[in-house]
Structure 1
Amino acid sequence: MTDTTVVLAGGTGGLGGRIARALVNRGATVRALVRPGSRVGELQGPGITRVEVDYADGDALARACAGAGCVVSALSGLHEVIVEAQGRLLDAAVRAGVPRFIPSDYSIDYTRLPPGSNRNLELRREFKARLDAAPLRVTSILNGAFADLLTGQAPLILFKLRRVLYWENPDQRMDFTTQDDVAAFTAAAAMDPDTPRVLRIAGMSVSARDLAAVMEAVTGQRHGLVRAGSLRRLTWLIRVARRLAPQPGALYPPWQGMQYLHGMFSGDGKLEPLDNGRYPDLRWTGAREVLAAPRS
């Protein structure tokens, strides 16, 4: 066994690719699991070995995990991925004698959310029961929302209108972390034999009012706040959106994003305490740097 060998699942995704590069930068040897015929994208280079494996083949998965110091999952999907495929990966890690496992959590604190309030995070709660019963050390990394979304898909900052939306309370602080920072922290945790069960990080903890102030500082133009409604109204809108456009097979239907916003603006998913200082060499990307970056 070597602690510098890390098995990575989900490396062809955006976060997974970043984790692979961050691991190599920390001196790890990355054994990246890829499904037969999948596109490898940027998952290549010195320090990265790609291993084609069928997740339905438990023996092959166990062989792929053999000798590793940690298995890191960056898998993304619904029940067949988060619970079933990731469960087979967990079983393979146990069979191979891998001492540590980092699951694909990377979210707000789903353990504090009311049961059933977020479809995707409920899958993580379901898988958590298996993790807690597994005979190896497990570390979940919780990072709030990806800060990269603030300049893209997250419907909070209306750039052209110079407005910032909020639900219920403009001063409710929310956790955001860039994917690069999440990847760097995950790589450090994967190489750390003494990680606890949960690590919580946030590159920024900001309110809607804070975001408006940062946008004013970045652009030199005033940005106002717009109250989208109460949390009760948001709950109602989620129900309506889910009924009118259920999209049960979609990973991120509109109502799923609304559920995530509810967990942030309610404060239920707030991360406390933070473990940002665990690896002093890491640098955190703040709100001003994120919002000043060019938008695609």
Structure 2
Amino acid sequence: MSITVGIAGLTGKFAQCVVKKLHACHNVTIKGFCRNPQKLPQLAMEKYKIEVIQGEFDDEQAIQNFVGGTDIVICCYFGNTDVMTRGQKILIDACVKEGVPRYLPSDFAVDYTNIPTGELFPKESAQIIKDYLVEKKLAGVHVLVGGLMETFWSEFFQIFDSNTQTLIFWGTGNEKWDLTTYETAAAYVAALAVDKNASGVFRFRGDVKSVFDIKEIYEKVYESPLHLKRLGSLEELYSTVKERFEKDPNNIMAWAPDCFVYWCTNGVASLGDDLDNKKYPRIVPANMESFLKTHKRADIAVADRYIGF
């Protein structure tokens, strides 16, 4: 049975990973939506046979044309609050109008369903959109994967210095990180997209490791030391984040990365042990050791730049 999958935010790295995973499935047609199709390699468009609809995130007519005829819409937006909240509501409204039965929002993070209302969290849009899907009676397919491994080592989290091979941390160092690669997360998203019965909240994980665990794996794989530097307690981290937010809430990069670190490590928003990996046994998730083994030491800090087509 054929299925048509719509992907909003097609020029994003994660969206392109999902396209590659969907292409490996049988009888899948892909429609894409983005602001600037010129950013997409022509060879990739021909290879994956994607029908691309161009438009801004708030172009209601273009979005209605995009979602029309799809069986599920996957949102891969990554942007400001307006894009992530109003933009997704426009997508959802179009799905309701066109009779699209399922919507997979841009979650792809820690288990925000456990974060108390009112707590500072960079992806508050995920909580808002989850409620909006319930309000609109549209089946949501929510994918929670913890932190993305490529992002963990990148400049975004600001915790790894590739020049000095130093990993900084808050807390005791024994706190566990839920970590999943882009490719593994995309594989699960593709599996959910073609599984027409899939709806609700799904938790997938590639690995769960503490800073001390990661140090041991790093040194085993690269035969080179990974230095650790403690900055303070988790309580001090949260206080620092709140101070930065209150000083300049619109300066996202001043407070959001450390806020993500806080929710990745404090245990409240962990994925837990009742994971959904087993529902799709053909997918073999990459763990931290396999991730490091497939990247040169000098490249792990920029691994996120080479994802996609």
| Shift in CA distance, 130/103, structure 1 to aligned 2, threshold 3 Å | same
CA distance in 2, matches of 1:267, 1:187: 28
Question: Which residue number corresponds to residue 7 of structure 2?
Answer: 8
**Conserved? CA contact 1:63–1:96, under 8 Å:** no
How far 1:163 sits from its partner (Å)? 3.8
Contact 1:247 1:253 in 2 (8 A): no
Rounded Cα–Cα distance in structure 1 between residues aligned with 2:21 and 2:118: 34
Q: Does 1:33 align with 2:33?
A: yes
Kindly indicate whether residue 188 of structure 2 is the aligned counterpart of residue 185 of structure 1.
yes
The one-letter code sitting in structure 2 at the alignment partner of 1:202 is R
- For 1:166-205, what aligned pairs fall within 5 Å after superposition? 166-205=169-208
Partner letter of residue 253 of structure 2? P
Q: Contact 1:11 / 1:19 at 8 angstroms: preserved in 2?
A: no
Distance in 2 (alpha carbons) for counterparts of 1:152 and 1:54: 29
Q: Which residue in 2 is equivalent to 1:132? A: 134
Match of 1:108 in 2: 110
**Unaligned runs of at least 5 residues, structure 1:** none
2:271 is matched with 271
Please tell me the residue identity of whatever aligns with 2:20.
Answer: R
Output the CA distance in 2 between the equivalents of 1:156 and 1:162.
11
Structure 1 letter corresponding to 2:191: A
Helix, strand or coil: the match of 2:283? coil
Change (3 A) 1:114 1:169: farther
Counterpart contact for 2:221–2:289, Cα < 8 Å:
yes
Residues 254 and 58 (structure 1 numbering): CA distance in 2 closer, same or farther, change over 3 Å? same
Q: Deviations over 1:214-259 (max 9, x none)?
A: 1110122343543220112112221333355x261x5x51310010
1:190 is aligned with what amino acid?
A
CA distances 1:96-134 after superposition (whole Å, capped 9, x unpaired)? 111111011111011212334344221211222101222
Distance 2:200 2:112 in 1: 14
Amino acid at match of 1:261: V
Q: Is contact 1:150-1:291 (8 Å) kept? A: no
**Residue-pair matches, total:** 291
> Which residue does the alignment assign to 2:158?
155
Greater shift after overlay, 111-120 or 286-295? 111-120
Q: Which moved more, 1:63-72 or 1:4-13?
A: 63-72
Quick check: 115-124 or 167-176, which moved more?
A: 115-124
TM-score, normalising length: structure 2 = 0.86
Amino-acid identity (%): 24
Provide the rounded CA distance (Å) in 2 between the counterparts of 1:60 and 1:158.
43
Q: Which amino acid aligns with 1:90?
A: I
